[in-house]
Structure 1
């Protein structure tokens, strides 16, 4: 798997003249650990991180100072075709929370965060199960009415259904979950743990 397969885009970014205060607002509102700092050609000039913001805040830097005065340079970047194991190695070794991804011309294409690296570790079926189980728990009034299993995107829901209308509702709810291929309902009671 490559950077292009897991990177986040579009990327929240700033220019070198962006005031530090504005950059801090972007960090907090978008809940990101770093903002790539790009020039007019979208080439990455540096990275403004949470650590840069904290360092500036506690050293008395002016909030209206440009990001360029406090950004981390040079920016460590990866290419679109960089393997995710290499990205993880670099992030862990350098204690980075994210790394900008650039194309062959050095133009910002995306960003890879630690969370992006974790996503491939979760199987699609696990994600479907988790989302569907939460939906059915809410719909069922937080009572364990159904047992859910997922294999290859195929969902099986076993339990007691009030009537045909409820069967249709449960099927429709299941089909709203991204990745569900088909739904099978069964009348068996859910297993209690």
Structure 2
């Protein structure tokens, strides 16, 4: 199984000049931990995550060093701390050193990357363009989808998944980030959250209509609409 078989393609992204207020709102509203940052040419520039809000002057949590520690800290490091704790845009706080993988990377290697860098998710990039994102939860879902059969996705399975993703992308209700799809041996596994029984039914019907689908397994959880704090 490869990255392209389990990645989430409908990724919320931000521009390098997006404000931190906008970013915080997106993280809270969509219940996600990070956002890819794209430059003016839609190439991946970096990632902003919840961790980048930990050391902020507004909350009084900016990094404080003793006089002695400051003496042994380079000016560049002190300047970087200043920018990261007081910057107001994505370009000021984004991480540019996060690992990235290609769509044909095997799941075993993805697990190694997540573990080695102690990160929750990794970007899937092809020719500097964002293809999707894979999280630790996606690996759990992949395991749950194949644990009973030990089946591995075939080219037919990949064609089914791509056809279903295209169908969902064409529908205004089908672009939700939380939905993840895994296809093995003609069986479509639907994962994620739905906000209503009708959304759950629509996902099932969309999958059942794809040629080659033998069965649809619904693993979605029903939740209410996400409330945004005032």
TM-score (norm 2): 0.52
Deviation at 1:55, TM superposition (A): 2.7
Which of 59, 64, 67 matches 2:62? 59
Judge conservation of contact 1:15–1:39 (CA < 8 Å) in 2. Answer: yes
Which of 107, 110, 133 matches 1:111? 133
In structure 2, the residue corresponding to 1:55 is in which secondary structure? Answer: coil
Number of residue pairs the alignment of both structures matches: 134
* Whole-angstrom distance in 1 between the partners of 2:98 and 2:45: 6
Query: RMSD of the TM alignment (CA)?
Result: 2.8
In structure 2, the residue corresponding to 1:46 is in which secondary structure? Answer: strand
Give the unaligned 5+ runs of structure 1.
127-151, 154-172, 183-193
Larger radius of gyration: 1
Judge conservation of contact 2:36–2:48 (CA < 8 Å) in 1. Answer: yes
TM-score (norm 1): 0.61
* Whole-angstrom distance in 2 between the partners of 1:125 and 1:89: 20
**Counterpart of 2:101?**
78
Mapping 1:1-193, distance limit 5 Å: 1-56=1-56, 58-59=61-62, 61-62=85-86, 65-103=88-126, 105-123=127-145, 181=215
Give the unaligned 5+ runs of structure 2.
64-84, 149-185, 188-200, 209-213, 217-230
- State the structure with bigger RCO (CA 8 A, min sep 6), 1 or 2: 2
